[in-house]
Amino acid sequence: MTKTISFVNQKGGVGKSTSVINIAACLAKQKKSVLIIDMDPQGNTTQVYSNITDDDQSIYNLLVKNTANQISIQSLKQKTYIKNVDLLPSNVLLSSAELDLVNKKNRESILKNSLKENKKDWKHYDYILIDCQPSLGLLTINSIMASDYVMVPLHADIFSLTGLELLTQTLTNVQKTFESNTTILGFFFTQVNKKEPLFKEAYELCLETYPNHLFKSYISASPTIDQSNATGQSVIHLSPNSNPSKDYQSLTIELMKKSPS
Ligand SMILES: Nc1ncnc2c1ncn2[C@@H]1O[C@H](COP(=O)(O)OP(=O)(O)OP(=O)(O)O)[C@@H](O)[C@H]1O
Ligand SMILES: [Mg+2]
């Protein structure tokens, strides 16, 4: 059965998009099929995996312009250079979606309901990965509501760890307020420099506070990631033997064990 996972952290630059891009590629390597939904108006995942322009249709059309259910996921989705990975792209228009939807009934469930209505267009995927923007606003709440699980990429610093409390509290509120079943799949550290004493401290603190949620795998800091993002490919294709390539593959194996499709 398809598992839908949102990558969420209100903190910017922690590796949400990079993780969606690379975990999708690693899942495809494991013979899984993946649909990426880019719910971030910055469109970073879209920039890596597609050539969409601001005039093309995007997830914005599905969320805001789909008044008569005339827009299908099938019509919006694009192929990527990876055979088993498709994309529902974002573009800059999405930045106005939160305002456009402010008076709409059930505005926090628009993505969830669109997925429900379009099930035939996605039910053959093993995983749907949703890239979220760095905020806990309406687009992120829609992503969480549409998901089975939330994955949280983290930096090993004090602001990230205190931000984690706000994030887990928001998830609890979403669960209670909207009777949502979305749960946390786990937290994982990104951009890690293993030699930094702070990393060990942060890892141990996180393990102590959230023993069931911390992934053993973490992603090393490496300039290869910037190169792969800049050249529009995943790190397992650009540099298969690099540390982040091995790290993303081991994180993906852990993810598949925790949430089998
Ligand atoms: N493991 C890594 N090593 C080195 N650089 C990395 C690594 N992961 C991500 N980066 C770089 O850090 C920056 C932020 O990463 P990314 O865009 O994935 O974060 P994000 O959480 O999606 O950001 P935003 O909150 O703005 O959406 C990018 O320039 C990316 O190339
Ligand atoms: Mg991003």
DSSP 192: B
- pLDDT score recorded for residue 151: 98
Name the residue of 10, 16, 18 to mutate for ligand 1: max ligand atoms within 8 A of Cβ.
18
Spatial CB neighbours of 176, under 8 Å, sequence gap ≥ 6: none
The band of 153, judged by pLDDT with boundaries at 50, 70 and 90, is: very high
Name the residue of 40, 196, 224, 225 to mutate for ligand 1: max ligand atoms within 8 A of Cβ.
225
State which amino acid sits at residue 121.
Answer: D
The number of residues in the chain equals: 261
Tell whether ligand 1 has an atom less than 6 A from the beta carbon of residue 16.
yes
Q: Give me the chain's average pLDDT, please.
A: 95
Please determine, for residue 163, whether its predicted confidence score (pLDDT) is greater than 90: no
State which amino acid sits at residue 209.
Answer: T
What would the mean pLDDT of 28-47 be, rounded to a whole number? 97
Looking at all shown ligands, the one closest to residue 10's CA atom is 1
- pLDDT score recorded for residue 44: 97
What are the pLDDT digits (tens) for 5-29? 999 999 999 999 999 999 999 999 9
CA 39 to chain centre: 8
Please determine, for residue 243, whether its predicted confidence score (pLDDT) is greater than 90: yes
- pLDDT score recorded for residue 49: 97
Tell whether ligand 1 has an atom less than 6 A from the beta carbon of residue 191.
yes
What would the mean pLDDT of 49-61 be, rounded to a whole number? 90
- pLDDT score recorded for residue 252: 98
Q: Which residue would you say has higher pLDDT here, 56 or 109? A: 109
Tell whether ligand 1 has an atom less than 6 A from the beta carbon of residue 22.
no
SS (H, E, C) 88-115: ECCCHHHHHHHHHCCCCCCHHHHHHHHH
Please determine, for residue 159, whether its predicted confidence score (pLDDT) is greater than 90: no
What are the pLDDT digits (tens) for 188-215? 999 999 999 889 999 999 999 999 999 9
Tell whether ligand 1 has an atom less than 6 A from the beta carbon of residue 17.
yes
Which residue, among 192, 122, 119, has the nearest Cα to 153 in the 3D structure? 192
**Domain spans, the chain:** 3-258
Spatial CB neighbours of 146, under 8 Å, sequence gap ≥ 6: 4, 6, 109, 111, 112, 115, 130
The CATH number that domain 3-258 falls under is: 3.40.50.300
